[in-house]
Structure 1
């Protein structure tokens, strides 16, 4: 009996030590990789910014020139909105806002939408989504050029009723076997344009203020081979 009790105690102690060591290893691994993950996410976001408004079209520090805009549920973002500003010789040439499409097929789709001072779309990029590979993931530029169809669009181009996929009477292509994903993105981009129009005066006033905010310490040259972060977030 004593021998069995000792054996059970040794097993319990062994299991306890194993749990402690395993938990410690996981904690250390998370601590060591968290900074790297954050850096990769920042690089992916920065790469998308320079795709929307290329370095050749502005001469300010885009990554660190930010403004805080009013909160608005049209962007599906809680709280105020921090946006990036592109300037040429001090004059604003575009603003890039984070936008959320909450109604993707598999959940939230996070976007960056660039708009010029006149309310025309400069570009749109997806920075995070959970859409079905081979179907909904065609919103990624590495899978198709579909997202580039927003460039040059405005609230009147197309007309409001045509801001939808073709299946629903709009002008934007849907994907074979996947209509929900592109429709969600189209609606999110349209809402960002409505937000811009409704807050035009506040946004213009913000753009004319001195640069504020601190972005990631990354230069355009660091972004050449950085893939976009399109994993679950």
Structure 2
């Protein structure tokens, strides 16, 4: 009886080791492919906002981490575009915390002179058929931000029409539209206050840390 129990224990341990090894092997074999796919998806999203011909740097490599309440929190990124050594634009990852069903993750592109280059929704949990009109595949509402700035419209008009602003809301989903409008406006405010810092390229001996 004792021998059978010991044999069962050994077999279970052996199966555990083999199983863990197989999982590690599969993960190691697919990790690079997953990372490459994620980079390709991000690059495609960035190109939906910025024309590739407008810059000549590796925009994924020229990204810096950010952390700021105006942008929605921590673990965010700024993808910086340069032509030669001249800044062209920056695309921020932004979180709009006030969505109806939770945070809305955005990419907000800003030209170096402060105009919106484009906005795209990365992820959300808004109600299908109502709040999902923020997706460019569903409607052209998100395109109304293109070319906007803190002067167009004036700061107090960066709101949906129900709040005396200039942006349309969705029937039954005003909260969703309001969250996105506020997030884009706050991104422009952040950019205006941190433009020089955002575009400053770090030297090799400088410590990389999130901007605050």
Report the TM range for the smaller structure's normalisation: 0.7 to 0.9
Partner residue of 2:64 out of 60, 64, 67: 67
1:54 aligns to what?
51
Matched, 1:84 2:79: yes
RMSD of Structure 2 on Structure 1 (CA): 2.9
Once the 2 structures are TM-superposed, how far is the Cα of residue 82 of structure 1 from its aligned partner? 2.7
The question of 1:112 aligning with 2:107 is answered yes
Asked if 2 retains the 8 angstrom alpha-carbon contact of 1:162 and 1:169, the reply is yes
Which residue in the other structure is 1:226 paired with?
Answer: none
Aligned length: 187
Asked if residue 180 in structure 1 is aligned to residue 175 in structure 2, the reply is yes
Residue 57 of structure 2: SS of its match in structure 1?
Answer: coil
Supply the distance in 1 between the matched residues of 2:34 and 2:84 (Cα, whole angstroms).
34
Q: State the distance in 2 between where 1:68 and 1:41 align.
A: 17
Conserved in 2, the CA contact under 8 Å of 1:45 and 1:127?
Answer: no
Structure 2 partner of 1:170 = 165
Corresponding residue for 1:134?
129
Kindly state the Cα deviation for residue 39 of structure 1 after the two structures are TM-superposed.
Answer: 5.0
Structure 2: give runs of 5+ residues left out of the alignment. Answer: 1-11, 207-212
Matching residue of 1:5: none
Residue 192 of structure 1 corresponds to 187
Can you give the 5+ residue segments of structure 1 that lack an aligned partner in the other structure? 1-16, 213-233
Q: How does the TM-score come out when normalised to structure 1?
A: 0.70
Judged with a 3 Å threshold, the aligned counterparts in structure 2 of structure 1 residues 35 and 107 are, in CA distance, closer, same or farther, namely farther
Deviation at 1:90, TM superposition (A): 2.6
TM-score (norm. length: structure 2): 0.76
Match of 1:96 among 91, 98, 109: 91
Q: What is the aligned partner in structure 1 of residue 140 from structure 2?
A: 145
Q: 1:40 to 1:129 in 2, by over 3 A?
A: farther
Q: Matches of 2:41 and 2:190 in 1, distance apart?
A: 25
Between the aligned partners of 2:48 and 2:32, the Cα distance in structure 1 is 24
